[in-house]
Amino acid sequence: MPKMPRHPCLLFLIPTALLSACGDEPPPAWSGYAEGDPIYVAAPVAGQLIELRVQRGDTVNAGVPLFSIDVTPVSAARAEADARLAAAKAEQADVAKGRRPDEIAMSRAQLAQARAQSTLADSDLARQQQLIGQGFISASRLDDARAAAAQARQRVRELESSLRVAELPARNDQQAAARANTEAASAALAQQQWRESQTRQSAPAAGLVDDTFYRVGEYVNAGQPVVSLLPPAQRKARFYVPEPELASLRQGQTVQLSCDGCGATIAARVSYISPQPEYTPPVIYSNSQRSRLVFLVEARPDPAQALRLHPGQPLEVRPSSPAVPATPALPASTSGRP
């Protein structure tokens, strides 16, 4: 029967030493899961959903039509704004010119008539002045002729001023007000045209149709999401790093993601490190990490590789380039032999 070593503990130290000699310890693995930040597509106008072109699980390209809202109420409002703009433009053109041609012609005819009457009054005054010198009329008749001539001349001046006013456009303040009304009506029309265009929504980016929230025929409030999209760039990994290991991570560092059925590991860059610790969430089933403080970290893979991740899928995360511990130097030999 072979003899047992004097120190039985050496039997356990030898395999440990052999394992240590085979290589370094593997880098730490952190538990996490895949998550997505969907894009919620909504219409800024309310109305009945009349068309839904996609279903949950579809893959769409950017610019593909998603859904349409009933355009009838918005089209009526746009037509009203269009009519108001036409009225404002007509009013602006009207104040930029004088009265109608027929009104100006009437003023000119009245002026011609007044000038003829003024000429007749001047002639009558001249005759009255000759007769007064000959003693055929009284001084009162001469005064009446002078008054009639003066009145006729005043009437001519009045109608000349009236004709000039008729040919003038409106005052500057009125023209400015008309221009402002036209600009306001134009802005209102542009707003209604934009609202009409927003009744039809397209995909802002390529991705997976994550969910639809309404069916055709239902009423949709303004700003209420109808479709949610999950682009590849919006998929990410969330994992929790214990406080002692947080110093090994930094913003932009590359980590490797592993999951069941994913095949090769997926490279991702750390995009967020929480500044505050929290307790290990209950979704992480690990007895060794229970009741320990951890920090939330997010990492985003390349969009082409992100398609391999599915929200809610458990992940195992490891750093790409773990720090290699320094090997302690062996003491120098005094015997000259190794």
Q: What is the pLDDT of residues 143-170, one digit of tens each?
A: 888 888 888 888 888 888 887 777 767 6
pLDDT tens per residue across span 6-39: 444 333 333 444 444 444 556 678 989 999 999 9
**Confidence category of residue 101, pLDDT binned at 50, 70, 90:** confident
Task: Give the bridge partners for 319, in sequence order.
Answer: 255
Residue-level pLDDT at 157: 87
Pairing of strands 39-42, 200-202: unpaired
pLDDT tens per residue across span 26-74: 667 898 999 999 999 999 999 999 999 999 999 999 999 999 999 998 8
Residue-level pLDDT at 25: 57
Give the single-character DSSP code of 79: H
- Ordered by start, the domain boundaries in the chain are 27-37+232-319, 39-71+198-230, 84-190
Distances (CA, A) of 142 to 121, 152, 153, 154: 12, 15, 17, 19
Residue-level pLDDT at 7: 41
Q: Looking at residues 172-190, what average pLDDT do you find?
A: 89
Q: Looking at residues 110-118, what average pLDDT do you find?
A: 86
Task: Give the bridge partners for 194, in sequence order.
Answer: none
Is residue 122's pLDDT more than 90?
Answer: no
Q: What percent of the chain has pLDDT over 90?
A: 46
**Average pLDDT for the chain:** 82
Query: What CATH number belongs to 39-71+198-230?
Result: 2.40.50.100
Is residue 267's pLDDT more than 60?
Answer: yes
Give the single-character DSSP code of 209: E
Homologous superfamily of the 27-37+232-319 domain (CATH): Efflux pump adaptor protein, beta barrel domain (2.40.30.170)
Query: How far apart are the C-alpha atoms of 283 and 32, rounded to whole Å?
Result: 9
Residue-level pLDDT at 326: 40
Greater model confidence, 321 or 293: 293
Buried residues in 104-121 as b, exposed as e (16+ CB within 10 A): eeebeeebeebbebbeeb
Residue-level pLDDT at 321: 61
Domains 27-37+232-319 and 39-71+198-230 share a fold: no
Rounded (10°) CA dihedral 144, 146, 150, 152: 60
**What is the helix (H) or strand (E) element at residue 189, kind and residue range?**
helix 172-197
Lowest mean pLDDT: which of 239-248, 269-278, 328-337?
328-337
Greater model confidence, 225 or 98: 225
pLDDT tens per residue across span 299-331: 999 999 998 999 999 999 999 865 444 444 444
Residue-level pLDDT at 284: 55
Residue-level pLDDT at 288: 57
